[in-house]
Each structure stands twice: as C-alpha cells, then as structure tokens.
Amino acid sequence: MNLATALELAALRYPETEAIITDAECFSYYGWNRRVNSVSWGLIKAGIRPGDRVAICTTNGEAPATMYFAVQRAGAAAVLLNARWKHQEMAYAINEAAVKAILFDATTKSEVMLAVHQYGQDLVCIEASRSPFDAGGTGTIYFEELAGKPADEVPEIPLQDLATGTILYTSGTTGRPKGVCRSPRSDYFAALGMILEHRWERFERTLAVMPLYHTMGLHTLISMVLLNGTSVMLPRVDPAECIKYMESERITALYLVPTIYHDLVEVVAGFRHRDLGVSKLAYAGAPMSASLVRKCRTIFDPRVFVNQYGCTEMHAITINHDPERNPLSVGRPSLHSRIRIVTADRNRRVPPTEALPQGMTGELIVHAASPQAFTGYLNQPEVTEQVLRDGWYFTGDLAFMDHEGNLYLVGRVDDMIISGGENIYPAEVEQILLGHSQVKEAAVVGMADKRWGESVTAFIVPAAAELDHRTMERFCLEHPGLARYKRPRQFVFVKEIPKSPTGKILRSLLKQGRYTP
C-alpha cells in the first residue's frame, strides 16, 4: 500500500471531511489530495526520480505533511530530519542519505543552509515559508509554487511495498543518529496496529503536536489519513494554545509524551469545570508517574487510556490498556508483536535461544517477522546485523515479565551497572530514590571504579534545599527494598537531569560530566 494511495482513497471516500487544520488554513481531503498531486508533479519536474531521497526539516504544519505524501507519490523516499538539530548533524544525515532535495521553514532555514553549504552537492532547496524581510537564496523554490497548482491527475509511479519509503533518524543518545529505513508496508501496518490498540475510529480528531520526525507524530498522521480523521497541526507545544485548539476544534484523541500531559493538566487545573471533550488518551516515549496518571483521569475522564511502548525500528511493541491499575507496566504484546526475554550481557552476542523464565530480568527481543518492522539501518549493515539476529530484533532494553504476562522495563543493557560482579539496574534504584519526599528527580549511572569496576552514582534534583548526602545515604541503608550492593556510593545534587525531547534520561551526558550542579 503506497501511503499516497491511502490518501487518495481517503479523498474518494469522504472528500469534504477536514483533513489538515493549521492556525491559518483548513484543507479538506479533496483539497489536500490535490495539493499533494501538485507537489508531486513539481518534484518530478525538479528532477526527483523514483528511489531518490527528499529531506523534510521543518516544524509541524501543512507543508511537511503534504511534502511527505507527495514524496511517496513521486516514488521517492522521505528523510525526516530533527528540526532541533544543528547544521553539523543535518549535514551528516543529508550526506549519508544522499539527499536530492530538502524542505525547510523559517525556523530551520539558517541551520539547513549551513548544512547544505557543508554538503557541497547541488540540492533542490524548497522553503515552506517566505520571510517578508528575506527573498531567499538563489535557486530556492517556494513550497507554494509547488502546491499552488492543484491537480486531479496522479503520477503513475508506484512505490513498491517493500522499498524504502521513509527514513527516520534515531535520537542518537549513544552516538551518531542512525537512519531507520521503513517501507510503505511497515508504516501502513504500524498505523493500522496503532488505530486498533488506541481504539481510534473513523473521523477521529487529534492534536498533532508531536513532530513528524518522531515515529509518534508520523504514524499519528498516517493513522488519521486511514480513518479520514482530522490533524490539527501546531508548530510547537504551548500548553495554553493546545487547550484552546482542543476546545475550538473538538479534539477527540491525544497521543503525547508524559511531559506534555504534565504541562496540559497544570494549565487545565487552573480552570474549574472545563470539559475538553477528549475521550481517548495515549502516551509513549517515557514512563508516566502514578500521580500524573491520576491527574489525567481527573482532568480528561477518558473513555480509553493506554500506554504504548515501542521504538522507531519496531513501532508498537507492547500496550498497557489499564495504566491506572498498573502504571509501572508497559503492558502486553501489541497486535503485531511477539516478544521474549533473554540473557543480558554487554560483552557478547547473546542468541535469541537464551530465554529467561518469568520474573527474571534480561534483554527484551522482538520477532522481526512483524509486518511493522523496519528493514535495516541506512548504510550500516554491520549495525543492522548487531541488532537483527536469527530473525529477532534486540531492543537493548532491560525488562522482566510478571506471572500475569505484563512487561516491565528497568533500563538499558548499555546502562546496566556491573559492580563487584553484580548486575544493577538503574531504574530499580531510581524508583526507590524517588520514594524520598525530598527527591524531585533521580538518575543512576555507573561510574568507573578501580575496585568495583563500576560504582553506583546517583544524580539527584532535590525538592528541598536541606537534602544532603548523609540524609540520602541513611535513607538507602535503611530501605528494606534496596540491597546494600545496589545502594549509591556517591550522590551528586544537580539543578536538572538532562533528557531527550521525549523525556528519556541522557545517562551518557551524566557520565561525561555534562550537567549543571
């Protein structure tokens, strides 16, 4: 299924239905589909051929959404770049993907231009917004020039189901970002699975604030197309603006990271008796605290509330359909997933046959025959071989399964601390530290130690100024759930814990000393 064909079918089913809404415009499926046709013809005229790669590096809006489907319709692959990157990171990805064209906007223009100059190859540069004070560089094509000739005729350039249609870059928290290659088939099944697990329905209306360069944002957009749903696209997350659009545009479903939910409930809590009408909530990217789960229930009173765990490579791996009852679990295997827990070992290639019994912690692996699985890392066959072994994808996540079959994540294999020959899982220690009333945030890492190999070190964001090393040491020594060998040997008090945009702790930065004391 070419994803652009999915859009064409949506336009045939319900042409009058609202597809894309921004702060300035509203496009029906009929009108949006014709703009996609116009842009795809424009790309072909500009020299884009089947198999070429077109980069998209913008904030959320109609232009990147239209460009994504137009690239698919032209038989090319869309390379989605992080709009928050600096030009060195952009140049690396542009070069690795051998990009032939790039879409940018006013927010990303300066960094993109530096990256294009560093690339040193001719690119078709397409600007999504024209600044009244800058006429743009020589050779720049403006997006509206491509989209301004709506057409009914569709280019007859089929994109094969298993060809690369999308390249998403991982966060790169442990090194250079990796280009994750996904086919139209895998993206279609990923969206279909998400629809069923989130219990989304025809004509759903969602707030599209998760960026398209993130799997959550992209697959939400694709899901809305399959359902003739409406994507209300905001370029950035402003809690007050989000609330305003949730009310005015009758939003029915949200799929966000916990950080955004936290900000939303804080804003809504200031208004009494505010009925937002959102009946379906979903979150992913990081754990949600039990207190935030309760606040979301109180504020939104959702009919559906789910937690999804996954990754760019495999999309949804597990779903927790009742996070209120069990907020610490990421649930059970999703529609297309088969999972297994195997021995975790940082120093050797563990085969998928080393399965562990329920209750034991090990590395989570996922059967790679899933129809929503990626096809490999761009230009990195050796890295692909490391994670795809004997038909299974090794996630690098540490996890265990309880007697009911519910999955729990306890960290990353790379983050696992080996101290005095014992395996220590940071998340386990962090949960105990967070139980102290004067601890606001906590992150645990293993620091090099001559005697122990690695020493457990805790970084603490205190909720009270009087919190000190002695208090925390006594708390850990007296805690009944923390074995003595697992207790932190050092406490470092910091102003904040470095995190990725999705809320994941960047432990590598802590180990490198890159934090604010």
pLDDT digits (tens, 9 = 90+) for 436-463: 999 999 999 999 998 889 999 999 999 9
Calculate mean pLDDT across residues 163-173: 84
Confidence at 272, pLDDT banded by 50, 70, 90: low
Range from 155-159, 303-307, 362-366 carrying the lowest mean pLDDT: 155-159
Domain chopping of the chain, boundaries: 26-181, 237-412, 417-511
Which superfamily does 237-412 belong to? ANL, N-terminal domain (3.40.50.12780)
Q: pLDDT at residue 173 above 90?
A: no
Give the orientation angle of helix 258-268 with respect to helix 239-248, to 10 degrees: 80
Q: Using CB atoms within 10 A of its CB, is residue 215 exposed (0-12), middle (13-18) or buried (19+)?
A: buried
pLDDT digits (tens, 9 = 90+) for 314-325: 999 999 999 999
pLDDT digits (tens, 9 = 90+) for 295-304: 999 999 999 9
Contact indicator for 371, 378 with CB cutoff of 8 Å:
no
Q: Which amino acid would we find at residue 294? A: R
Strand order, beta sheet including 439-449? 439-449, 453-462, 490-493
Check residue 123 and give left, alpha or beta (phi > 0: left; psi -120 to 50: alpha): beta
Query: What pLDDT is attached to residue 161?
Result: 85
Rounded-to-integer distance, Cα 342 and Cα 413, Å:
11
Q: Which amino acid would we find at residue 500? A: S
pLDDT digits (tens, 9 = 90+) for 376-413: 999 999 999 999 999 999 999 999 999 999 999 988 89
Rounded-to-integer distance, Cα 218 and Cα 312, Å:
11
Calculate mean pLDDT across residues 274-289: 89
Calculate mean pLDDT across residues 491-513: 88
More confident residue, 160 or 492: 492
Query: What pLDDT is attached to residue 130?
Result: 56
Strand order, beta sheet including 205-208? 26-28, 18-21, 230-233, 205-208, 253-256, 280-283, 304-311, 315-320, 332-333
Considering the chain, what percentage of its residues have pLDDT values greater than 90?
82
Within a 10 A sphere around the Cβ of 238, how many other Cβ atoms?
Answer: 14
For residue 245, give every residue at least 6 positions away whose Cβ sits within 8 Å of its Cβ, in sequence order, or none: 207, 232, 234, 251
Closest CA to 78 of 109, 57, 107, 108: 57
Query: What pLDDT is attached to residue 171?
Result: 66
The CATH class that applies to domain 26-181 reads alpha beta
Rounded-to-integer distance, Cα 272 and Cα 299, Å:
10
Confidence at 139, pLDDT banded by 50, 70, 90: low
Rounded-to-integer distance, Cα 331 and Cα 190, Å:
18
Query: What pLDDT is attached to residue 136?
Result: 45
Query: What pLDDT is attached to residue 273?
Result: 56
26-181 and 237-412 in the same fold: yes
Query: What pLDDT is attached to residue 34?
Result: 97
Contact indicator for 88, 116 with CB cutoff of 8 Å:
no
Handedness of CA 494, 499, 503, 505 (dihedral sign): negative
Query: What pLDDT is attached to residue 153?
Result: 92
CA distances, 331 to each of 315, 335, 356, 462 (Å): 15, 12, 18, 31
Token readout for 23 is: 């702060």
Which superfamily does 417-511 belong to? ANL, C-terminal domain (3.30.300.30)
Closest CA to 409 of 396, 423, 398, 401: 398
Calculate mean pLDDT across residues 46-74: 97
Is pTM beyond 0.75 here? yes
Residues forming beta bridges with residue 27, ordered by sequence position: 20
Calculate mean pLDDT across residues 349-374: 96
Q: If you average pLDDT over every residue of the chain, what do you get? A: 92
Q: Using CB atoms within 10 A of its CB, is residue 12 exposed (0-12), middle (13-18) or buried (19+)?
A: exposed
